[in-house]
Structure 1
Amino acid sequence: MEKQVEQLKEYQSWAKDELRRAVDFWLKNGMDPVNGGVYTCLDREGKIYSTDKSVWMQGRCGWIFSYLCHVYGKKQEWMEAAQSCLDFMEKYCINREAGNRMYFTVTADGRPLRQRRYCFSEGFYCMANAEYFGLTNDKQYIERARAAYELIYQLNHRLIQDPTGLGPKTIPTTRSGRSLADPMIYLNITSIMRRCDPENKALYDQRAEECCKEILTYHYKPELGCLLETVGLDGEVQSECTAGRMVDPGHDIECAWFMLEEANYLGSEMLHAKAQNIFDQAFEHGWDKEYEGLLYFIDCMGMPPEAYEHDMKLWWPQNELMIAAMMLYRDLGDEKYLKIFDKTLNYCKRVFCDPQYGEWYGYLRRDGKPTMPPCKGSTFKGPFHVLRMLIMVDCMIDEILKRESSRASM
């Protein structure tokens, strides 16, 4: 174990240094001192190439800087960054005339640009407000989080009509179904709400159980070795279309660690084993054995994926892989998962990391070369996945090292 301890210390030192560079990158280049909020369309050096603002990223940035304070202690610049994003969302990103549904993108000064049917803007808004409440104990933030949390639940379960008037993605009389992203993201939101709002623990326990049940009952297809992104209402495989066969290995692995966390909270060996199996199958099918790295999309039946970007290497699936591998190593002590973490880390160091300017490239070709010109942020990439992974890896290694130190002293 002595060798592994030294290895873990090296990983932890890297994570701390990489986190510092990533945080500095966003604080220096992303924060908008004029209008508030964060710009995320940044090139390699941090220069803004589009001033349109992603509402997802306002919530994710608000959450990550609040979470940094939760883990490492309050720092004024982190608190100010979180507050700026929260204030910007509250002032500009909510469609008050459409039941408090949130926009998807707005201009630099907050004028609405695009509304989408999906509830992810509301989800990240919910996370950010809950986490900030945990730091400030200011009730207005948890009240906002609770309202958004309930709105998402009602929309996802079709208990209310979407007040935006946007209908489902496909004509429901022709084809309807379930999306993995809904219970997956809601499970993660629920774990944050439960931690930050313990007085409603019973509700969050119930909702988390519902999420896990929905994922395992409808989307988990062990015979195909995957979670399907889209299934029929009863979980049937819609194999006649490409969307019905689509697998996102990064989502499978992200979903696995969300369920690993829930399994550890419940003390459920059965749920833990199922999450472990989902991880194992996703890694086996999603890892690119020629160029390394996790592929973006695969077809569960080996047919051509429809998405042009299916064989690209994106930053976030690698982040989820590193979180889940370290979590499984922490929980099980199986060196197989430490080797997976090491393999992924070395790959990411080689192709994603940028020691010169900080943060990670977002979009690489299959062979690991950045799309040109390279970017560090976009409408979909901001201060979230990379930072979350680095924080969690640092914390999990801390847990392992403390445990080993305690054993050694016995």
Structure 2
Amino acid sequence: MNTPATSITLAATLRDHFTRVVLPVWRGPGFNTALNLPYEAVSGTGERPMPVQRYRAMACARQLFVFSQAGDAAHAEVLFNALLHYFQDRQHGGWFYSVDPQGAPLDTTKDLYTHAFLVFACAEYGARSGNRAALDVVDGTSALIEQRFVAAHGLFNAALDANFSTMTGTPIQNPLMHLTEAWLAAREATQDSAFDTRLRKLAEAIERTFVHAPTGCIAELPLGTHDNRLEPGHQFEWYWLVKQAGALLDGTGLDAALTRAFDFAQQHGVDPVTGGVCASLDEAGRIKDATQRIWAQSEYLRALAIRDDDAARAVLPAQIERFKQRFLQAHGWFECKTTAGEVSRAEMPSTTPYHLATAYAALPA
């Protein structure tokens, strides 16, 4: 791939901002040293944590991924130990959704999204640190997902109660996407062919249940659900994942579908003037939610970076610059903006650095 030098230079400025500005927030004001847990969010200036109502396992796992990828082994180890200490359900198995401000279990729901991020983060941490306990979490949590979250037609339920006896959330797209992401990471970290089988079965189930044939997009809810929606950011995220899977998903139809979905999302979901990616569209491509969330912008960058064609290479430098000007600031980032460019969410959540880290890692260097 012949990448313009401007893309390489601009991408370097994003990584520099991440290293100098973003990571120090989450080692400092964004980290509760008494509990060894990241706060859910910090103020827009990055100087203080927002009032504490809970700590989520998913947020801690995302931070574990970020600091593992960044090579901060010491902080990553602290986060891994915190996950085990606070969120592991030693009575029923699996992981609690959240703990209260004192670190006691708060929401004991067994949430697929959360479990997927435990697998994903521990795969990254285990691969980089060599910590066998982290890879044991990858294997054990993956097996638990197959056993306890299983639903009809090869899918997995979104949520169950604390002891897995009652389903409280039926299959939806987003947790399944992150489970795909997690199992791709686990496959890389463990070299276990069992993840090949898991990924193919899951991909086939997603294609049957969520792929909107006219556009190739993966819908948020099963096809035929009333008031369904298509999220451009998720099309770009899926596009990346399917390209990462490569030949593993040959024959599923997802590659061809997501190539069309990329075009649909780019045409209908990206503002041609500002480059802002809207939150959601209806099935005809009309905007349902015009909010521009930073994670969707980062997924667009990541998808552009992996799309091997002249049009994407031409767009990428300008899109990096527009992203930098519109969503980054001296103290961190702007989480949400309106189409007019006004800040609609001022605080910075601890979950967002994961999106920035994965996008920046994909950009040319």
Same fold by TM-score greater than 0.5: yes
> Which amino acid in the other structure matches residue 49 of structure 1?
M
Please name the residue that 2:358 is paired with.
388
Q: Alpha-carbon deviations, 1:223-247, whole Å to 9, x = none?
A: 145221111xxxx423xx22xx211
Please name the residue that 1:404 is paired with.
none
Question: Residues 391 and 303 (structure 1 numbering): CA distance in 2 closer, same or farther, change over 3 Å?
Answer: closer
Please name the residue that 2:343 is paired with.
370
Asked whether the equivalents of residues 101 and 164 of structure 1 are also in contact (C-alpha less than 8 Å), the reply is: no
Please name the residue that 1:92 is paired with.
86
Asked whether the equivalents of residues 288 and 294 of structure 1 are also in contact (C-alpha less than 8 Å), the reply is: yes
Asked whether the equivalents of residues 260 and 272 of structure 1 are also in contact (C-alpha less than 8 Å), the reply is: yes
The runs of 5 or more residues in structure 1 that have no matched partner are 70-77, 170-176, 399-410
Please state how far the C-alpha of 1:320 moved relative to its aligned partner. Answer: 0.8
Asked whether the equivalents of residues 360 and 386 of structure 1 are also in contact (C-alpha less than 8 Å), the reply is: no
Please state how far the C-alpha of 1:273 moved relative to its aligned partner. Answer: 3.8
> Which amino acid in the other structure matches residue 195 of structure 2?
Y
Secondary structure, counterpart of 2:40 in structure 1? coil
Asked whether the equivalents of residues 291 and 338 of structure 2 are also in contact (C-alpha less than 8 Å), the reply is: yes
Question: Residues 14 and 267 (structure 1 numbering): CA distance in 2 closer, same or farther, change over 3 Å?
Answer: farther
> Which amino acid in the other structure matches residue 390 of structure 1?
Y
Please name the residue that 1:341 is paired with.
316
Q: Alpha-carbon deviations, 1:87-117, whole Å to 9, x = none?
A: 11111112333x2232222234311222345
Q: How many residues align?
A: 355
Question: Residues 325 and 156 (structure 1 numbering): CA distance in 2 closer, same or farther, change over 3 Å?
Answer: farther
Question: Residues 184 and 126 (structure 1 numbering): CA distance in 2 closer, same or farther, change over 3 Å?
Answer: same
> Which amino acid in the other structure matches residue 291 of structure 2?
M
Of the three residues 200, 209, 220, the one matched with 1:209 is 200
Of the three residues 317, 333, 346, the one matched with 2:296 is 317
Asked whether the equivalents of residues 210 and 220 of structure 2 are also in contact (C-alpha less than 8 Å), the reply is: yes
Question: Residues 371 and 57 (structure 1 numbering): CA distance in 2 closer, same or farther, change over 3 Å?
Answer: same
The runs of 5 or more residues in structure 2 that have no matched partner are none
Asked whether the equivalents of residues 326 and 341 of structure 2 are also in contact (C-alpha less than 8 Å), the reply is: yes
Q: Alpha-carbon deviations, 1:44-92, whole Å to 9, x = none?
A: 22211123322211011111211222xxxxxxxx112211211111111
Please name the residue that 1:261 is paired with.
244
Whole-angstrom CA distance in 1 between matches of 2:117 and 2:317:
30
Please state how far the C-alpha of 1:264 moved relative to its aligned partner. Answer: 5.7
Please name the residue that 1:352 is paired with.
327
Whole-angstrom CA distance in 1 between matches of 2:296 and 2:117:
19
Q: Alpha-carbon deviations, 1:156-202, whole Å to 9, x = none?
A: 42389752445334xxxxxxx6422243111111111111111x2x2
Whole-angstrom CA distance in 2 between matches of 1:102 and 1:189:
16
The reply on whether 1:327 has 2:270 as its aligned counterpart is no
What's the TM-score, normalizing by structure 1? 0.78
Asked whether the equivalents of residues 130 and 145 of structure 1 are also in contact (C-alpha less than 8 Å), the reply is: yes
Please state how far the C-alpha of 1:365 moved relative to its aligned partner. Answer: 2.0
Please name the residue that 2:100 is paired with.
107
Whole-angstrom CA distance in 2 between matches of 1:137 and 1:290:
46
Please name the residue that 1:45 is paired with.
45
> Which amino acid in the other structure matches residue 79 of structure 1?
A
Of the three residues 64, 77, 81, the one matched with 1:83 is 77
> Which amino acid in the other structure matches residue 389 of structure 1?
A
Asked whether the equivalents of residues 216 and 259 of structure 2 are also in contact (C-alpha less than 8 Å), the reply is: no
Q: Over aligned residue pairs, what C-alpha RMSD do you find? A: 2.7
| Percent identity between the two aligned chains | 17
Q: Specify the structure having the higher radius of gyration (Cα).
A: 1
Question: Residues 5 and 250 (structure 1 numbering): CA distance in 2 closer, same or farther, change over 3 Å?
Answer: closer
Whole-angstrom CA distance in 1 between matches of 2:285 and 2:259:
23
Question: Residues 256 and 147 (structure 1 numbering): CA distance in 2 closer, same or farther, change over 3 Å?
Answer: same
Secondary structure, counterpart of 1:95 in structure 2? coil
Secondary structure, counterpart of 2:81 in structure 1? helix
The reply on whether 1:122 has 2:115 as its aligned counterpart is yes
Please state how far the C-alpha of 1:351 moved relative to its aligned partner. Answer: 1.7
Please state how far the C-alpha of 1:303 moved relative to its aligned partner. Answer: 7.1
